[in-house]
Structure 1
């Protein structure tokens, strides 16, 4: 049996950031992922400068070898009415390809890795966990996304009543002809809200790569909403008429709607496994990175792997992201006054789409950077 002080299950931004943040802690860390990297990852794919700073990634250096699309504007609308375009006058975010970004973060951490290995068994033996009858550890960290096997160890496992957001999207490299015909601009992502405000769609160009998708809370109607949106974008010339392949799906939890405990004896959840996606936008990368950095600080300070010692992590998450509201019937946590006919008027407002939708909901410019010593 191979012993590790910490085993991290999941090699996305949350898991790789935690492993990276623990490198000089004196702890022996193993990172396990069922896939080999680089791998496809369904995600619109943008990160703010704050995330790059937290990860200590120099955008200029990263952009020399990877896709990095500066974002200065947003085009926002309610489906069925003209959009509003806001120019922020500076780079407020970056478009990335998750297959590249996740591979980069994973490659830079020097911990032991077991890639292409699924978790087949998890057993409690004394004070430790044994995974796949191969590795033993007092602390296992779930970083494997919404369906992370480690989440099943906490409480009753993922709740049946959790309000899950389902999304479908496609990302592909356009041919020269498609790129010429595509009216979407690289520095101006397009966000289109559904009329009932239970989700939104996007068109996001990153150089010659195009990402199109839609996410909603009522996934039984997802395909219909997506098809209507794609047809509208094709008819208006915003996207090429000859889209390749099929749309891939994924699911995640919004922070205010998640019911999952974050810690127990020898167990801790981070990122999407913990259900930390921002409630208004569904963004998961910044919460994943920040939860990993907060977890690393707690793991470094903890005297053991008991729930009592790890509870500081739960407290840190609540302090950073707020106390979960658990309003399962409130859709995307949109205020009731915005769900009235006033919504159409507000979505035509440059002030509202800039100050509320873009800067508050999507960029979280009101949230200060996470100051964490690594």
Structure 2
């Protein structure tokens, strides 16, 4: 049996950031992931300057051989009506490819890694958690996304009654012919809200790569909405007529509506495994990064990994992201004053699309850096 102080299930941004943050703590950490890296990850793929700074990423170094698309504007609209273009006059975000970004974060971690290793069993023996009858540790971190086996162990995996947002997307490198007809701009991602406000679609060009997708709370209608959106974008010339391959799906929980417990005896959930995606946008990278850093800070401070001590993590998450406000009306936390029939007019407003949709909901510019909260 291989013994560790901490076992992290999931090598994505949450898991790798937690291990990275604990490197000087003297704790022996193991990261387990079912896939090898680099690997494809369904995600529109952009990060704010706050994320880059928090992760201490040297942008010049990162950009060598990787995609780092500066974003200085957004095109915001409601499907079926003209969009609004907002130029921020400076770089407000960066487009990344998750296959590169996640591998970069994991590669810089010195912890032991067991990749291409599905979790087949999780058992508690005494004070330790045992994974696959091979690895054991007193503290188990669930960082494996929405379908994380650690969350499932707590009774909140697939099949639970939580409301799930489903999305489909495709990312591919365009041919010269495709790039010549694609009107989407790299510095201006496009966000198109569904008319019922139950989701939104996007068109995001990152250099020669193009990412197209749509996410909604009612997954049974997802494909129809996606097909309609893609057909419309093709007709407008925003995207090439010939898209390669199939759209890939994924799922996640929005923070205000997730019901997953964040801790138990010797267990912590971080990132999408904990259901921390921002409620207004579904963006999950910054919450994943920050939850990992908050968890690492708690781990360094507590004398043991009892549920009572680890509850400090849950309290810190509430302080950072707010108290969850469950309701059965809508997964997307759209304020009442934005809802139909006002939404159509608001989505034509330069002020609203810039100050509320972009800067508040998607960029979270009003949220101070995490260092001030730790």
TM range (shorter): over 0.9
Are positions 1:121 and 2:154 aligned together?
no
1:203 counterpart residue number: 203
Q: Which residue of 2 aligns with 1:67?
A: 67
Match of 1:102 in 2: 102
CA distance in 2, matches of 1:24, 1:308: 25
- Measured in 2, the distance between the counterparts of 1:226 and 1:307 equals 43
Alignment-derived partner of residue 334 in structure 2? 334
Q: Map 1:42-57; keep pairs closer than 5 Å.
A: 42-57=42-57
1:238 alignment partner in structure 2:
238
> Which stretch of structure 1 is more off in the superposition, 184-193 or 324-333?
324-333
Q: Which runs of 5+ in 1 are unaligned?
A: none
CA RMSD of aligned residues (A): 1.2
Distance of 1:64 and 1:124 partners within structure 2: 44
CA distance in 2, matches of 1:342, 1:363: 23
Shift of 1:336: 2.0
Would the aligned equivalents of 2:165 and 2:331 in 1 still touch at CA under 8 Å?
Answer: no
Partners of 1:271 and 1:220 in 2: how far apart? Answer: 25
C-alpha displacement of 1:319: 0.2
Question: Is the aligned partner of 1:280 residue 2:280?
Answer: yes
Distance 1:159 1:371 in 2: 36
What is the distance in 2 between the residues matched to 1:357 and 1:69?
Answer: 21
Q: Which residue of 2 aligns with 1:307?
A: 307
Q: What TM-score do you get using the length of structure 1 for normalisation? A: 0.98
Partner of 2:227: 227
Query: Does the 8 Å CA contact 1:73/1:86 hold for their aligned counterparts?
Result: yes
For structure 2, the residue ranges without an aligned partner over 5 or more in a row are none
**Distance (Å, rounded) in 1 between the aligned partners of 2:263 and 2:159:** 16
Q: Deviations over 1:123-171 (max 9, x none)?
A: 1111111111101110000000000000123256567321100000000
Q: How far is 1:335 from its partner?
A: 1.4
- 1:153-172 equivalences under 5 Å are 153-154=153-154, 160-172=160-172
Cα deviation, 1:20-55, whole Å, max 9, x if unaligned, reads 111110100000000000000000000000000110
- Normalised to the residue count of structure 2, the TM-score between the two structures is 0.98
Q: State whether structure 2 residue 29 is matched by structure 1 residue 29.
A: yes
User: 1:316-337: CA deviations, max 9, x gaps?
Assistant: 0000000000123233111122
Cα–Cα, structure 1 residues 81 and 373, in superposed 2: closer, same or farther, change >3 Å?
closer
